[in-house]
Amino acid sequence: MTLSGVHVPLITPFDSTGAVAYGVLRDLAHDMLAAGASGLVALGTTAEPAALDDAERAGVLDTLTAVCHRRGVPLLVGANTAAELRALAGHPAVTGALCLVPPFVRPGEDGVVAHFAALAAASPVPLVVYHVPHRTGQDLSAGALRRVAALAGVAGVKYAPVAVDADAVDLLADPPPGFAVLAATDTLLSPMLALGAPGAILASAHIATAQFVTLADDWRAGRSERTRPLGHRLARLSAALFAEPNPAVIKGVLHAQGRIPTAAVRLPLLPAAPASIDAALRCLP
């Protein structure tokens, strides 16, 4: 599996009764792909998967599987246990699984490597490791990520550091062969692309999708003069979209644009404040 370009981790839209709006989800998926997104992510953290029941998760997966199969694009699916991974075998359009570094328990680097070795052995599809240390509490050095990259069945990492630090530079300056380092801290997209990231998994790309795609394409093509100003504008947009817990502001903006029926999120999240939504709308390029 080759991973590059902008991949959108889709929200789960809800209708006025609180039910999942599957038709709206399908239309959003087509919109993202028509705007140039290279692929989609189902049931990532932006989708509020913990707030969905089993039937809803299955419905989301079926909806996005159908879209990606029809359009011939990659679909990653959030899956964090061996059982969840094995269940993906019945979905031939699924090209990979997005697997979070174990949160809260902080097992150490050796434990993380052993964990992903076990998951990769159980999975019918390649893994993309989701490394977001400010949420999981587990930092991984570039050396540890290289050990993960060497595991059979691991295709890349959704890399979301809080800053472009020495480990990020180390990993992007000399990435392991066949291992995609995908940018995932939305406000740091430009510097990560400038360092060599082949693409990104970006919740912000729900909004101004085509501009995020242009940014990634321009960095890969070396068109830095027009890329930098666009990167600055999109970083401001991303900061505004993450002013409250994700995906509350993104849903607020999509609703304001008439693209989803409500801005509703499920507990423990709360809807974004109108001021936050207005601030994000003012940042649209």
Q: Where are the domains of the chain?
A: 5-229
Q: Determine phi and psi for 153, rounding to 5 degrees.
A: 90, 5
State how far the Cα of 74 lies from the Cα of 96, in Å rounded to an integer.
8
State residue 223's pLDDT score. Answer: 77
Could you tell me the pLDDT band of residue 1, with boundaries at 50, 70 and 90?
A: low
CA distances from 146 to 167, 182, 197 (A): 11, 14, 15
- Report which of 99, 103, 92, 33 is spatially closest to residue 61, judged by C-alpha positions: 92
Please state the rounded mean pLDDT for residues 193-209.
Answer: 96
In this predicted structure, the answer to whether residue 212 has a pLDDT above a threshold of 90 is: yes
State residue 167's pLDDT score. Answer: 93
Whose structure tokens read 């998967």? 49
Could you tell me the pLDDT band of residue 285, with boundaries at 50, 70 and 90?
A: confident
pTM (two decimals): 0.96
State how far the Cα of 12 lies from the Cα of 218, in Å rounded to an integer.
30
Q: Determine phi and psi for 41, rounding to 5 degrees.
A: -125, 125
pLDDT tens digits, one per residue of 90-106: 888 899 999 999 999 99
In this predicted structure, the answer to whether residue 59 has a pLDDT above a threshold of 90 is: yes
pLDDT tens digits, one per residue of 222-280: 776 778 889 999 999 999 999 999 999 999 999 999 999 999 999 999 999 999 999 99
Whose structure tokens read 């989301």? 60
State how far the Cα of 203 lies from the Cα of 48, in Å rounded to an integer.
12
Given the candidates 3.30.750.24, 3.20.20.70, 1.10.10.10, 3.40.50.2000, the CATH classification of the domain at 5-229 is 3.20.20.70
